Amino acid sequence: MKKKFDLNPIIKTLQKVLPQAQKSIALHEPQFDGKEWAYVKKCLDSGWVSSVGKYVSLFEKQLAEYTGIKHVIAVVNGTAALHICLQLAGVRAGDEVLMPTLTFVATANAVSYCGAVPHFADSDEKTLGLDPLKLGDYLKDITELRTEGCFNKKSGRRIKAVVPMHTFGHPVDMEPLLDVCQKFGLVLIEDAAESMGSLYKGYHTGSWGRLSVLSFNGNKIITTGGGGAILTNDTSLPALAKHLTTQAKLPHPWAFNHDLVGYNYRMPNINAALGCAQLEKLPEYIRQKRALALRYQEAFTGIEGVKIFKEADFARSNYWLNVLLLDKEYSCERNKLLELTNNQGIMTRPSWTLMHKLIMYEDCPRMSLACAEDLERRLINIPSSAVLTDLNIVNSTFTEERQG
Least distance CB 244 / its own copies (angstroms): 11
Closest CB to its own copies among 79 and 143?
Answer: 79
Q: How far, in Å, CA of 162 to CA of 25, rounded? A: 36
Closest CB to its own copies among 188 and 267?
Answer: 267
B/e letters for 216-239, b = 16+ CB within 10 Å, e = fewer, are bbebbbbbbbbbbbbbbbeeebbe
Least distance CB 115 / its own copies (angstroms): 7
Closest CB to its own copies among 72 and 80?
Answer: 80
Least distance CB 75 / its own copies (angstroms): 10
User: Would you give the end-to-end CA distance of the chain in angstroms?
Assistant: 49
Least distance CB 267 / its own copies (angstroms): 8
Nearest to 311 by CA among 134, 116, 42, 129: 129
Closest CB to its own copies among 75 and 312?
Answer: 75
Least distance CB 288 / its own copies (angstroms): 16
> Helix crossing, 174-184 with 132-142: angle to 10°?
20
Least distance CB 227 / its own copies (angstroms): 8
Least distance CB 363 / its own copies (angstroms): 13
Least distance CB 117 / its own copies (angstroms): 12
Q: How far, in Å, CA of 240 to CA of 88, rounded? A: 8
Residues that bind its own copies in the complex, under the rule CB under 8 A: 29-32, 36-37, 40-41, 44-45, 47-52, 76-80, 104-106, 109, 112-113, 115, 217-219, 223, 225-226, 247-249, 253-264, 266-271, 274, 338, 342, 347-353, 358-360
Least distance CB 78 / its own copies (angstroms): 7
